[in-house]
Structure formats: structure tokens, C-alpha cells
Amino acid sequence: MKRILIPRPNLFSFDECLWFLNRNYDDCLHVIEPGKIHKAICINGQNIAFTLQADERHLLLHLGDQQLSPQQEQALERYISDWFDLDRDITPFYKLLAKHKQLAYMATDYAGFRLIGIHDLFEALCWSIIGQQINLTFAYILKRRLVEQYGTPISFNDHTLHIFPAPEVLQSVSMEALRALQFSTRKAEYLLSIASLFAAGTLSKERLQQCSSYNEQVAQLTAVRGIGVWTANYAIMKSLKQLQAIPMGDVGLLNALTNHQLIKDRQDHTRIDKLFKQFKGWESYLVFYLWRSLSHA
DNA sequence: ATCCAGGGGTCAC
DNA sequence: GTGACCCATGGA
């Protein structure tokens, strides 16, 4: 039985991350059991399934009887680090939290919570488009239909895991098929055209990472039909981990700000900007912790 | 029935 | 750059 150990950093709570991934929604891209998570991913064209657990000092990756090359093992470790943002020292963020009266509690209540990523940019963009202007419960249902219909199922440890559909597959799906899954006409158009852009290589994570600045990344993404400021920043935050990304206008973000009495008027951009300036360099973390505050144990 | 949900596009000033 | 309007769909 293949097993890999990954050292766990300070200020990291596997339980807190797992809880968030499991909160109130039915995500089809992982399976969670007490203390562990199962997931399947595609790295360099190869499908890999794994179970992730934690002890006091490590994250434990269980691979069953899968054989991986050293390079694949490294790629998998990098994937895990990227997923849970393990390589980042988040103490500066905690110092900023401590200085903020209404938000200081987060440093203890959510201690060790990390910005959980979506490694695949195509998946991140599709997911944020699916989530546009509909409630999250329904968004997860739509994602599940899409993934079960066009993704790749993997059997592992008595679970059926799913890998998100490749753009090459999605680009040739018909509008009618997506409409039948209850995607709106607009969203179906957006998804199909973005799948084509990825399949053609016009759009890719690598290309976006070559941009010289965050602003340029936003510009490149928002030039695509269906990707507005919110979607672009969501993807940049979750996939590229550029921490200055803020999905402005996000309903959940505004609700959290209202709940904490940080704003009264949901259009008070001045106060919102002022708040985020206090968290310069950690804006995405602030957003993520505010989203965390929307769900209760 | 009506409003809302982790928005975006379009078009007029 | 800003604001008004429409788009789609399920849930509360």
C-alpha cells in the first residue's frame, strides 16, 4: 500500500479545511468521511485517486496499489500543497486580524483555516460561471450533473470519485444537452465557448500566469464573454492564488460584511475599500474567512 | 406570488 | 464610468 507523508505547517488545521469542504453542500468532486477526504485528479494526463488524512505532524496520502513515478509523486505533493495552501506563512494575516476589532475572533474560531484552491483553472472558471446568480445548492446540483455526465468516474476504496470534464470533451457538447441538464441558455453558451478556448490553448493557466500583473490577468479573463469582474477574481483567487483578488459584489461577501456590521449599505464601496486596504496583500484570505463565517457548525 | 441567489451582457447617456 | 434593463432557473 503506497503512502506519502507531507509535513504540516504551523497554523494549519486539517479539520477546519475538511469541515469547510463538507459544510452544507453536496460537492461531487470529493468524498469526505470523518477525518479523511477522498479525491481523484488528473496530473499530466494520468488519473490518480487518493485518500488524505492527518496526524499531529503530517498529512498522509494513501494511494492504494497505484504505482507512481517519483515525478508523479512530486506533482501530487505539489497539488496537495496548492490545494490547501500549505506553503504559505499566514501569520501576517493573523496579525492583521488581531488588529481588527470585529474580525479578531476569526483567528481563534477558524484557526488554521486555509484558502482552499481549485487547481484546474478551467474547472474554477466553469464552477464560478455555474454559480453566477443562482443559489449554491442548485449550483452544486448543476455541477454534479455536468460532472457525472461528462467527467471521468474513478473507483477507489469503495467510492466512486469524479474528475471534472476536460475542455476537449465539453467543447463538443451540444447546447440542447446542457439545456436538458437545466443550464440556462446563457450559461451553456459561456461554458461551451470557454471550453473551446481552453481546448484550443487560447486560454490556459500557464498563459495567465505569464501575465506581468494581476490587473493584466483580470483584463485577459474579463475579455472573455461570460467572465465578468466577479468570475475573474474568483478564479484568480481560487486557482492562481493571487491574494489581492477580491470577487467584488459577491452576495456572500456582502452578507458577511453586513452580518459583522461592517457596512449598512450594500453599495458602500468606500467602507468596503477601506476595510480591504487594512488587509492589503491578504484580501483573498479576508474574503475566504468571511465566507467561512457564513456557515455555522 | 414575489423575491432572492457566491452575475453578466447590452445599451443609453 | 454609471445606471437601467433583461436574461434564466430553482428555492424559500
What's the whole-number mean pLDDT along residues A192-198? 96
The pLDDT value given to residue A296: 86
> Would A225 be classed as within a structural domain?
yes
Residue with cell 479525491: A39
Q: Do A80 and A162 have their domain in common?
A: no
Number of domains in chain A: 2
Q: Which nucleotide is nearest to A269 (CA to C1')?
A: C2
Is strand B less than 7 A from the beta carbon of A75? no
Q: pLDDT digit string (tens) for A27-42?
A: 999 999 999 999 999 9
Give A84-110 as a DSSP string: TTTT---HHHHHHHHT-TTTTTHHHHT
SS3 content of chain A, % helix, strand, coil (to 5): 45, 15, 40
Which nucleotides along chain C are within 7 A of a protein C-beta?
Answer: 7-12
Is the pLDDT reported for residue A289 higher than 80? Answer: yes
Domain, as residue range, for A266:
121-292
Cell 486560454 identifies what position? A203
pLDDT in the model for residue A2: 82
Asked if pLDDT for residue A1 goes beyond 80, the answer is: no
Asked whether residue A216 is domain-assigned, the answer is yes
Q: Is the shortest CB-to-strand distance from A135 to strand C under 7 Å? A: yes
- For residue A247, give the CATH number of its domain: 1.10.340.30
| CATH code of the domain containing A76 | 3.30.310.20
Mean pLDDT of A138-144: 95
Q: Give the pLDDT score at A44.
A: 87
| One domain for residues A147 and A288 | yes
Which residue among A55, A65, A82, A250 is the active-site one?
A: A250
Asked whether strand C has any atom less than 7 Å from the CB of A225, the reply is no
Nearest to A55 by CA among A86, A14, A16, A85: A14
Residues A216-225 have pLDDT tens digits of 999 999 999 9
The reply to whether A125 and A83 lie within a common domain is: no
Please tell me whether any atom of strand B lies within 7 Å of the Cβ of A117: no
**pLDDT tens digits, residue range A36-93?**
999 999 998 999 999 999 999 999 999 999 999 999 999 999 999 999 999 999 999 9
Same domain, A144 and A213: yes
- Cβ neighbours around A269 below 10 Å, total: 12
Extended beta strands in A36-123, E state: 36-43, 46-54, 58-64
Q: State whether A61 and A128 are in the same domain.
A: no
- Whether A96 maps to a domain, the answer reads no
Question: A285 falls in which pLDDT band (50, 70, 90)?
Answer: very high
pLDDT at residue A271, rounded to an integer: 94
Report pTM. 0.97
Q: Assess whether A250 carries a catalytic annotation.
A: yes
Confidence of residue A150 (pLDDT cuts 50, 70, 90): very high
